Structure 1
Amino acid sequence: MKDIIQTIIENGKNFPDQVAVKHNDESLTYEALNQYADHLAVILKDTKSPLILYGHMSPYMIVGMIGSIKAGCGYVPIDTSIPQERVVSIINKIAPQYLLNTTDAQLHIEGPSIITTTALLNVDGDSPIENSINDSAIAYTIFTSGSTGEPKGVQISYESLNLFTNWMIQLNQLGLNQQWLNQAPFSFDLSVMSIYPCLATAGTLNLVDKTMINKPKLLNQMLEETQINVWVSTPSFMEMCLMLPHLTEAHYSSLKEFFFCGEMLAHRTAQLLQQRFPSAFIYNTYGPTEATVAVTSVLITEDIIKKYNPLPVGIPQSGTSLTLTEEGELVILGKCVSEGYVKDKTRSEKVFKMQDGQKAYYTGDKAQLKDNQWFINGRIDYQIKLNGYRMELEEIECQLREVDYVREAIVVPMYRDGKVINLNAVVVLNHVEDHMDNQTITHQIKKELKRLIPEYMIPKKITYTDKLPLTMNGKLDRKKIAEDLLK
C-alpha cells in the first residue's frame, strides 16, 4: 500500500517543476509544496493538538494538510464561508496551539498562535522532514452539522486516509500526471476524494472556488484554459454544469473520468452525462464523512442506466463490509470507520460500535442489496407521515424527475404545530412549449405523477424556479428551499 506522504515526497523529487496545486493565477510546484510543508512541519513539530487550517481555495491550504500530517498532529479545515460563531465553537472544542491563516484578512481569534503564509516562506532550514505520523494518529478532523445545532468533529486516522486513497488510485483508470478538478471546499470531505488521489499520482489539483460556482461562465473559462482529465464533484454541481451548452466530449476531449459523491446521482443526470461523454469513465460512489469519504463504487455504463432507476452505488472497497439492521439501516464495518466524534462521547456511542471485532458505523441511511449491488433508499429521517401514510421524500423526487417536463425537483414537507399538513415541490423545468403556462404544466406534471405514485404522495403545490440553490459544499440547499417556500 502506498504511503501518501512518502509518495508526495517522491513526487517532489521526480516531478519538481510540475504544478501540484493551482487556483486562478496562484500555483505551487511539487518541489515548492514539499518545501513549504517541511517549513510548516518545523513550526508544528512539538505541538500535540491539530492545526486549524483557515481559508478557501488557496494552494497553501494543501501545504497545511501535508505539513501537519508530516508533523504528526493532523489538521482541521475551516472554510471562509463558515459563520464566525461556528468557527469559534470549533476552535473551542479543538483547543489548537496553531492556526494557519491562508487569507489576507486579519483574524481576531483568541487562543491559537496565527501562522501566515509569509511566515512559511521564511522558516530557517531547508532539510527535508520525514513523515512522523503513525497509522492510528488522526490525519484530519472535519466538522459536520449536528442535529442539535452543535457541529460534530469526525476524526479520520492516517491509516483510513491511506486505505481510501489507495482504493481511489485503483479506481482511477487514467494513471499518472492527470489534471484533476476539485469542486468541494476543504471543510467538506468530498475534497479528500480529489486532493490525495491527485497528489499521490503526481497530478495537478485545479481548485474551483465559490465565485465560479455562482457564475458558471467563469467555470467555463477555467475549463477552456485547463485540460481537465478527472472531475470530482457532487451530482448537484454537475447538474448545474450540464446547463453549459458546450460541456460535451467534442468540446472537452480531455475530460475522461468523473467521480460523484455526497448525494444521490439522479438517473437522468447520469444518462445525459453518458450521452455527452460516451467514452468517459463515470463513477457513482457512496459514503458518509464518518467512513472516510466513500466506501462503495460502481462504474456507470449504458447497461447500468438501462437496467436500474434509481442507480446503484455499487460494491464496497476491499476490507470494508456492509450489513443491514432489522429496520433496514446500513451499517459500515472496517478500518475506514472514524475514531468517533472529537470530545463527544455521548453522540459517538450512539452510532459508533464494535461489531465482530471491527469498528462499525450506523449510518442512518436506508439501503438494500440487489443483484450484488448496493442501493441507498434515502435517509431514515427523511421519512414523513402525512394523513396516516408513511412516505419517503426522495422517492417522490425520483418519480418527479421521471416526468418529461422536469429537469430537477425537491419535495418539501409543510408543517403546522409539528405535524405535516401537505407536500410542496420546487421544480426546474426542461424546455416546454411557449404556449404552456405554469398552471397547464402543473396539471400535466400531476397527471403524469398519478401513473407513477399514489395520489396521497403527489405534492399539493408546485413552484417553479430557474435553478435550485446549492450549499457551499455544492449540495442541494434543502433548508433554503424550505425557508423560501414559507415566505
Structure 2
Amino acid sequence: MIEAETFSVPQRPQMLAQPPYSFDLSVMYWAPTLALGGTLFALPKELTTDFQRLFTTINQLPIGVWTSTPSFVDMAMLSNDFNHETLPNLTHFYFDGEELTVKTAQKLRSRFPKARIVNAYGPTEATVALSAVAITDEMLATCKRLPIGYTKADSPTFVIDENGNPLPNGEQGEIIVSGSAVSKGYLNNPERTQAAFFEFNGLPAYHTGDLGIMTDHGMLLYGGRMDFQIKFNGYRIELEEVSQNLNKSTYIKLAVAVPRYNKDHKVQNLLAYVVLKEGVAEQFECQLDITKAIKEELKDIMMDYMMPSNSSIVTVYHSHRMGKSILKA
C-alpha cells in the first residue's frame, strides 16, 4: 500500500500551483501545502500558453515541489534552462492525470539527477491518487511502461476479467477501485452512473476502464485504456463525444475523432477525419480556412481541449474511408 514515505512532501513546501483548481489534480498541491504551512505559486492561464514568459517566470521562482501532468513538464523541458542548476531548490516531482512515460521520466532524471520523482494514478471518480510509487533508476532502465504504484489501504483495488471475477496476480484485466474514496456517481446522469459504479465485496466500487496487472508484490502496472476514452494533456476525452460535436457543424457530413499515439503510448494529438457537405470545399481557398470555420462554429459547444488543432482536421472526400480502419489508427 501507499506509505507516507512515498510522497515525503517536505515541511513548508514551496509548490507550483499549475493545474487549475477545477482539475482534481490540484488537490495534490493545495492540500499538502496548506497542511504543512507552505507557499503556493500560482500561474495565470495566459502565462501557460506563452512559452517564453512561462519559462522565464518558472526559473525565477523558488519552487521546491512540482505537481503537474507529465505533459506540462514535457513542455517545461523544451527550455534547456529547466534543470537543477537553474532551479536548485526543486527536489520533488509528483505526477498524475495521465501516463508518465519512461522517456519523460528519463529526461527529467537527467535534468534533476537527485530529485524524487513520484508517479501517481487514480481516476477522478476515486478522489485523485489511488496509487503511487517513487520512480527508481532501475525502473527507468528496465521498464517499458512505468508502474503506477502501490494502492491506498482505504481503496481496495482489483484486476478483474470480463465477467467481473478477480484475476490472479500477473494477469491483465480491468482495474477496479473500491472503498470510501469512490464517489456516488455522475451528477444528473443515472445511465452513466449505473454503467460505471457498482458494489464489490460489499463496498462501493468503480470501473476505471483501464487495463492493468497486479504483481505478487502488490504493485499496479498500467496497460492502457479499454475503450475509446483517452487522456490528453491531463483531460479525459470521450472520442465519441468529440465526433458527435463535430457532426453538428453545418460544414460536415460525417466526422470521426481518433487519437494519434507516439512510440511511448502517449496521445500526441487528436485527429478529426471529416467528410464535407457538398459544395463546402468550393467556399474556401484552402484546408486551413475550412478548419478555422469549423472551429469557429463549434467553439460554444466544445471545450478547447476537445477541439482538434488546425493541422489535425483532415478532409476525406469519400465516406467509405471513414470505417473501422480509421478507428483503429
Residue of structure 2 equivalent to 1:355: 200
Say if 2:41 is the partner of 1:195: no
Residue of structure 2 equivalent to 1:53: none
Say if 2:129 is the partner of 1:265: no
What 5-or-longer segments of structure 2 have no aligned partner?
A: 163-172, 230-257, 276-303, 316-329
Q: Is the 8 A contact 2:12 2:37 kept in 1?
A: yes
Say if 2:42 is the partner of 1:207: yes
RMSD (Å) for aligned C-alpha atoms? 3.0
Q: Taking structure 1 as reference, are residues 326 and 230 closer, same or farther at Cα in structure 2, changes over 3 Å only? A: same
Residue of structure 2 equivalent to 1:446: none
- 2:156 is paired with a residue whose SS is strand
Residue of structure 2 equivalent to 1:376: 222
Q: Is the 8 A contact 2:93 2:115 kept in 1?
A: yes
Residue of structure 2 equivalent to 1:309: 144
Q: Taking structure 1 as reference, are residues 346 and 401 closer, same or farther at Cα in structure 2, changes over 3 Å only? A: closer
Distance, in Å, in 2 between the alignment partners of 1:186 and 1:374 is 28
- Residues 242-263 of structure 1: CA deviation (Å, up to 9, x unaligned): 0111111122110000011111
Q: CA shift at 1:300, angstroms?
A: 1.0
- Residues 416-435 of structure 1: CA deviation (Å, up to 9, x unaligned): 7xxxxxxxxxxxxxxxxxxx
What 5-or-longer segments of structure 1 have no aligned partner?
A: 1-166, 384-392, 417-475
The amino acid of 1:307's aligned partner reads T
Q: 2:16 aligned to 149, 172, 181, which one?
A: 181
Q: Is the 8 A contact 2:271 2:314 kept in 1?
A: no
- 1:381 is paired with a residue whose SS is coil
Residue of structure 2 equivalent to 1:397: 261
Q: 2:62 aligned to 227, 234, 242, which one?
A: 227
- Residues 60-97 of structure 1: CA deviation (Å, up to 9, x unaligned): xxxxxxxxxxxxxxxxxxxxxxxxxxxxxxxxxxxxxx
Distance, in Å, in 2 between the alignment partners of 1:286 and 1:379 is 13
Distance, in Å, in 1 between the alignment partners of 2:50 and 2:261 is 26
Q: Taking structure 1 as reference, are residues 266 and 381 closer, same or farther at Cα in structure 2, changes over 3 Å only? A: same
Q: Is the 8 A contact 2:271 2:308 kept in 1?
A: no
Q: Is the 8 A contact 2:109 2:115 kept in 1?
A: yes
Say if 2:111 is the partner of 1:276: yes
Q: CA shift at 1:357, angstroms?
A: 1.6
Q: Is the 8 A contact 2:15 2:66 kept in 1?
A: yes
Residue of structure 2 equivalent to 1:424: none
Residue of structure 1 equivalent to 2:51: 216
- 2:204 is paired with a residue whose SS is strand
- Listed as ranges, the matches of 1:227-246 within 5 Å are 227-246=62-81
Residue of structure 2 equivalent to 1:340: 185
The amino acid of 2:134's aligned partner reads L
Q: Taking structure 1 as reference, are residues 280 and 367 closer, same or farther at Cα in structure 2, changes over 3 Å only? A: same
- 1:486 is paired with a residue whose SS is strand
Q: Taking structure 1 as reference, are residues 203 and 169 closer, same or farther at Cα in structure 2, changes over 3 Å only? A: farther
Q: Is the 8 A contact 1:168 1:193 kept in 2?
A: no
- Residues 434-459 of structure 1: CA deviation (Å, up to 9, x unaligned): xxxxxxxxxxxxxxxxxxxxxxxxxx
Q: 1:330 aligned to 175, 179, 196, which one?
A: 175
Residue of structure 2 equivalent to 1:298: 133
Q: 1:484 aligned to 292, 312, 325, which one?
A: 312
Residue of structure 2 equivalent to 1:158: none
The amino acid of 2:313's aligned partner reads L
Q: Taking structure 1 as reference, are residues 343 and 204 closer, same or farther at Cα in structure 2, changes over 3 Å only? A: same
- Residues 128-153 of structure 1: CA deviation (Å, up to 9, x unaligned): xxxxxxxxxxxxxxxxxxxxxxxxxx
Q: CA shift at 1:241, angstroms?
A: 0.5
Distance, in Å, in 2 between the alignment partners of 1:352 and 1:191 is 24
Distance, in Å, in 2 between the alignment partners of 1:169 and 1:299 is 11
Percentage of matched positions with identical amino acids: 32
Q: Taking structure 1 as reference, are residues 221 and 413 closer, same or farther at Cα in structure 2, changes over 3 Å only? A: closer
Distance, in Å, in 1 between the alignment partners of 2:60 and 2:193 is 45
Aligned length: 249
Q: Is the 8 A contact 1:401 1:409 kept in 2?
A: no
Distance, in Å, in 2 between the alignment partners of 1:307 and 1:339 is 39
Distance, in Å, in 2 between the alignment partners of 1:483 and 1:335 is 44
The amino acid of 1:267's aligned partner reads V
The amino acid of 2:314's aligned partner reads L
Q: Taking structure 1 as reference, are residues 349 and 174 closer, same or farther at Cα in structure 2, changes over 3 Å only? A: closer
Distance, in Å, in 2 between the alignment partners of 1:330 and 1:482 is 35
Q: Taking structure 1 as reference, are residues 197 and 344 closer, same or farther at Cα in structure 2, changes over 3 Å only? A: same
Distance, in Å, in 1 between the alignment partners of 2:190 and 2:267 is 39
The amino acid of 1:280's aligned partner reads A
Q: CA shift at 1:415, angstroms?
A: 7.4
Distance, in Å, in 2 between the alignment partners of 1:299 and 1:278 is 14
Residue of structure 2 equivalent to 1:433: none
Q: CA shift at 1:481, angstroms?
A: 4.2
4+ residue segments displaced more than 3 Å: 167-172, 407-416, 476-479
Q: Normalising by structure 1, report the TM-score.
A: 0.47
- Residues 456-487 of structure 1: CA deviation (Å, up to 9, x unaligned): xxxxxxxxxxxxxxxxxxxx956414973325
Q: Normalising by structure 2, report the TM-score.
A: 0.68
